[in-house]
Structures are given as structure tokens and as C-alpha cells.
Amino acid sequence: MIAFDAFTLLLIAVVFLLAGVVKGFTGMGLPTVAMGLLGSLLSPATAAAMLLLPSFITNIFQLGGGRHTVALLRRLWPMLLMIMIATLASSGWIADGSSTHTQLALGIALMVYALWTLSGRILSIPARMESWLSPVIGVMTGMLTGGTGVFVMPAVPWLQSLGLQKDELVQALGISFTCSTCALAAGLAWQGAFHSASLILSALAVIPALTGLFIGQKLRHAISPALFRRCFLICLLVLGIEMVLRAV
């Protein structure tokens, strides 16, 4: 049975509260913030297992009415399928704690993505390349998910490059994150790293995560989206640097 002292539990709750705020405001970032900050408190497998229910439930809220679900699934299924296969195949890395190389890769990817986005440049993918690049992006995202518990890269910049409308993009992110969460849960269970104690801790983490989600949604009307987005990207850059330093 996993046991934590009261101070550690408080820190974990604060982490999920902050991660939920970022998720509520930007539509993404919960696994990135949670895994980045929890990495100094917990083992990768424990942190990933604790992330599962908060991530899944906040993604369900993000999907909303699901008006674009069928069309997005038809378009994105090659990426989604490869995400699930690659996550299952690489889940042993995070289960046995051997995630140093993938953590280093993710840290570098986060740094590059944050710097690229802060520069104001927008990546655009020609339609003719989507059919063969989509599964490649899925494999890369799945390997990073199985190795680090974070499923942002490179799925997020890829989806942003497809020219989706705002509502479509938010829902596409929710679909991608939901598939990644389910695949990670299956991978951890397959590797014997997902126990009943982890499920209890994950369920408890839902409370601060949802609280943060609703706070983040309210903050959309009080803070400039451009300012918050810039601060979020700077946070991603700092997390990326921290991951690289921890890996080396």
C-alpha cells in the first residue's frame, strides 16, 4: 500500500490544482504540469497511475457536446490507433523506472515547442502529407506517453497544424488525450504497475484537478488569453529544462 505523509499529500493536491487550472484555461497541459512537478516527489509509475483518473475525467469535460466527434475520429484514427499501440508497447519503460532517455527526449521536445510557439511561428502541414505523417506522429506520441506519462508531444503541435477550427481543435485534443490516458492505464495494468492503491490516490486527485479546471475556465474571462498563453509556454520551457537537467 502506498503511503504519504500529510505534507506530501498537500503538495500533490496543489500540483493537481495547478494542473487543472492550466487545463481549464488552455484545454491542455494537465499531464505535462502534473508529471513535471510530481517527478520530484514520486516514482514515474506512481505519478503516471495517479494521473489517470484526473486526466480522463477532465478530458470528458473538455469533449463537451461532441458535435465533431465522428468527423474527427474519421480523420484522426490512424494517429489514435498508433498512439494506443505504441503506448502499450513502451509502457514497460515507465513501469520499471527506466524513463531517462524518453524524459530527456520529452524535455527537449517541450523546449523546442515552447520556443517555437513563443516566436509566433505557425506550423502548417500540406493535406497530401497528412495520411502518412499521422501514424508517425501517433507512434512518437505513444512512445513518449509510455516512457514519461505525458502525451502532449508531438500530438499537440500536429493537431494545431491541421487547420482545425477552435471548437474542433479543443475536441480533437480531448479525443487524443482520452485515447492516450486509456492506453497508458492499460499499459500500466499490463506491466503490473497499476494497483488498487494507485486507483484510490488517482480518484482523490480528481477533486483538486476538477477544482482547478473550473477555476481555469473562469480565468478565461479575467485574464488576457495571450498573456496566459505566454506564461504557460514559459512554464513549459522551464519544465522542459528541468526534465533535461534531471535526465542528464
Determine the structural domain holding residue 78 and report its residue range.
6-247
Asked whether residue 23 is domain-assigned, the answer is: yes
* Rounded Cα–Cα distance for residues 14 and 61 (Å): 21
Of residues 27 and 21, more confidently modeled? 21
Asked whether residue 66 is domain-assigned, the answer is: yes
Asked whether residue 1 is domain-assigned, the answer is: no
State pLDDT tens for residues 155-185.
888 888 888 887 788 788 888 988 999 999 8
Asked whether residue 83 is domain-assigned, the answer is: yes
Residues 6+ apart with CB under 8 A from 2: 46, 195, 197, 198, 201
**Total residues belonging to the chain:** 248
Give the confidence band of 200 by pLDDT, cuts at 50, 70, 90.
confident
Q: What's the structural domain count of the chain?
A: 1
Asked whether residue 178 is domain-assigned, the answer is: yes
Q: What is the pLDDT of residue 208?
A: 94
Asked whether residue 242 is domain-assigned, the answer is: yes
181 in Cβ contact with 62 (< 8 Å): no
State pLDDT tens for residues 26-66.
777 788 788 878 866 777 778 888 888 998 888 887 666 56
List the Cα angle 238/56/203 in 5-degree steps: 95
Asked whether residue 120 is domain-assigned, the answer is: yes
- Residue 181: CB atoms within 10 A of its CB come to 26
